[in-house]
Amino acid sequence: MKKNLFFMGVLSALLIFTYFFEELGQSKKKLLEESENRLFDAHKLGTMLKFSTMNQNEIIYLNNNFYTKKLNYPVSPEEIKYFFDVLSRIKIKRYLSKQEVSEKNIDLFIPDLNRKVIFEFEKGKVEFILGKKMQTDPSFYILVKTEVDELVVVAYDDSPLEGIYVEENVHQNSEKYNRLVRAFSMTEEDFVDRKILKYLDWETLSKNLTEIKIENLRNIPFSIYSPKQTTNPEVLKGLRFNEEYYLVFLGALMNMQAQNIWLPENGIEYKDQIAHMVLTLDKKIDLKLFRKYGSQTGFFVKTNLEETIYEIDQNIVRLFFSNVQDFWDKRVIPESFVKENKQFDFSLIFNREYAFKIDNASKFNVLSKNPENKPKNSGFKELLDFLQREADFVKKRVENNNKGVLFSFTFYSSTFHVIFKEGDLIIQDTKNDLEFHYHLGDLSRFRHVKSDFLND
C-alpha cells in the first residue's frame, strides 16, 4: 500500500501545474485552481497495474512488487527508484492553450509520439509523451494524455545541475533533458534485478550467518565460521584471521550481479560443476557453479532459492575459487603493530648482528644502537613496507631448510631468515615454524644486500 501511495504521489507531482507568473491579470491561485480542474485525480484511478516505456517495454506491478513482462523477472529496486526519481523532478510551468496547439502543428512541440511513458491503473491510464527541449531555456514540452483529455505543457526539471557550468549558458545545457530521455527509453533489461542473493543484507548476515563452506576444483574444501571468525582448516599458529578481507568478501558475495539471466527451459541442462558454496543462516543457501548451460560455455550459478540460472563474470568466479588462506592474515608484520608501536627493536644479521630501534612516532627514522653503524632510512622503510604486505601463501617451515639465506632479521622475539629459491622470496619465522612465500620472479625489486641498509 505504501509503495502504491508513493507512485501516486509521483504522478500527482507530474500533473499539478506550478505557476511562476500571472497571465491575463489572473492570480496564481485562480490559475492553479483552473489547471487542477482540467486534470484528473490520480488517486481515483485505483491501484497501478503496470507502466511501459518506449518500444513496449512493460513493467508489471503485482503484489506490491514490480516485474518485467517478457522475462517475468523482479525489477531492481535501485533502477525503479532511479526511474521514479527522474520523473518526480519534473515540474510544470504552464499549459498551452488549444489555440497554441492543434493537430496541424502538434509536431512542432511533440515531434516523436513514441517517446512516451504509459501508466495503467484499475480505472484508466495516463500517457506522458516527451517533446522538444526549448532553445531559450532548459524547459521542454510534454504531452499529457488521459482517456478524456490531452494537454501540452511546458515543463522543467528542478534538480540541481551537476558539475561546473556557466550561469549564462544554462539554457544550452541538455544534461537534465537527456537524463529524462534515458528514463523514457529504459528497457526491460535495464530494469531487471540482476542481484543473485536478493534477500541478503548486512543486518541479515551479521545476525544469522554462522558458516560459509566452499569447495572447488582448485583448492581443498574449507569452512569459515562467522561468529568465532575462525576457519577449518584452522589458522596456522602465528597468523591471524583476516577480518578485513572477510568483510570485503561478504560485501562482494552479498552484491553479486549476473551478466545474464536465464529462465529454465525443458531439455536444457547445466553441467560440469566446478565449485560449490553453502551459506548457513536461519536456512541454508546453496550455490553451485557450472561451466556449461545447454550449448553455451561460461560460468553459470544455480541457487536453491529459485529456478533462475545466472551467468556471471570472472570477478564473481573468484569468490567461488577462494582459498582458505585468503581468510588468513599472511603478513610477517601486521599493519596494526606498526600503528600501535611507535618504537620497537629491529636487528639485521649479515654475518653479524646490527641492532637498531625503529622510531615511527612522527617521521620514520632508524636509530642505531652502535654509533659506528649508520642506517639508511630508505632501505629499512622499504623492507618494513614489504613485511606488511600479504604473502602469496604460508606453510609450515621445513626444519633446517635454511640454505641460501640472504640475510636474517630479528623482530618481536623471533628470528626470520630471508631466502630466495626458484622465483620465490621465502621468509622463515623460526619461532612459529612458518614460511611466508612471495612470488617475485627475481630480486630486482627487493632490498637484500648489506649496502641497501647500511652506509659504509
All residues at 6 or more sequence positions from 126 whose CB lies less than 8 Å from its CB, including other chains: 11, 15, 40, 42, 45, 118, 119, 144, 145, 146
Question: Going edge to edge, which strands form the sheet with 414-421?
Answer: 365-368, 352-359, 343-350, 405-411, 414-421, 424-429, 434-439, 393-396
Q: What pLDDT is recorded for position 17? A: 33
Question: Would the pLDDT of 103 be above 60?
Answer: yes
Q: What pLDDT is recorded for position 2? A: 52
All residues at 6 or more sequence positions from 362 whose CB lies less than 8 Å from its CB, including other chains: none
Residue 62, classed as helix, strand or coil, is strand
Measured distance between the N- and C-terminal CA atoms of the chain, rounded to whole angstroms: 80
Residue in the block written with cell 512516451: 116
Q: Give the pLDDT band (50/70/90) at residue 121.
A: confident
User: What pTM, to 2 d.p., does this model score?
Assistant: 0.75
Residue 207, classed as helix, strand or coil, is helix
What integer best gives the mean pLDDT of the chain? 84
Q: Name the CA radius of gyration of the chain, rounded.
A: 33
Cα 149 from Cα 71, distance rounded (Å): 33
Residue type, 420: F
Query: Tens digits of per-residue pLDDT, 201-248?
Result: 888 888 899 999 999 999 999 999 988 899 999 999 999 999 999 999
CA distances to 9, 26, 86, 396 from 2, in Å: 11, 38, 19, 59
Better-scored residue on pLDDT, 104 or 269:
269
Average pLDDT of the segment spanning 57-72: 82
Q: What pLDDT is recorded for position 81? A: 87
Q: What pLDDT is recorded for position 42? A: 59
Dihedral sign, CA of 293, 297, 303, 304? positive
Taking phi over 0 as left and psi of -120 to 50 as alpha, with beta for the rest, 239 belongs to beta
Residue 141, classed as helix, strand or coil, is strand
Query: Tens digits of per-residue pLDDT, 327-356?
Result: 999 999 987 887 888 899 999 999 999 999
Q: Determine the distance from the C-alpha atom of residue 447 to the mean position of all C-alpha atoms in its chain, rounded to a whole number.
A: 38
Highest-confidence segment of 27-41, 44-58, 286-300: 286-300
Question: Would the pLDDT of 22 be above 70?
Answer: no
- Residue 399, number of CB atoms within 10 A of its CB: 7
Q: DSSP label at 192?
A: B
Question: Would the pLDDT of 403 be above 80?
Answer: no
Question: Would the pLDDT of 25 be above 50?
Answer: no
Q: What pLDDT is recorded for position 28? A: 46
Looking at the DSSP bridge assignments, the partners of residue 273 are: 290
Question: Would the pLDDT of 37 be above 80?
Answer: no
* % of the chain with per-residue pLDDT over 70: 87
Q: What pLDDT is recorded for position 102? A: 83
Q: Where are the alpha helices (DSSP H) in 327-420?
A: 335-340, 377-387
Question: Would the pLDDT of 166 be above 90?
Answer: no
Q: What pLDDT is recorded for position 41? A: 56
Q: H or E element: which one contains 124?
A: strand 124-133
Q: What pLDDT is recorded for position 38? A: 38
Question: Would the pLDDT of 39 be above 50?
Answer: no
Better-scored residue on pLDDT, 74 or 253:
253
Question: Would the pLDDT of 40 be above 90?
Answer: no
Strand segments, DSSP code E, in 226-330 are: 230-232, 240-241, 260-262, 270-280, 284-293, 296-303, 309-311, 328-329
Better-scored residue on pLDDT, 174 or 456:
174
Looking at the DSSP bridge assignments, the partners of residue 140 are: 133, 155
Question: Would the pLDDT of 21 be above 50?
Answer: no
CA distances to 50, 265, 269, 270, 297 from 291, in Å: 37, 17, 11, 8, 6
Cα 274 from Cα 214, distance rounded (Å): 11
Range from 19-33, 98-112, 155-169, 429-443 carrying the lowest mean pLDDT: 19-33
168: cell is 549564462
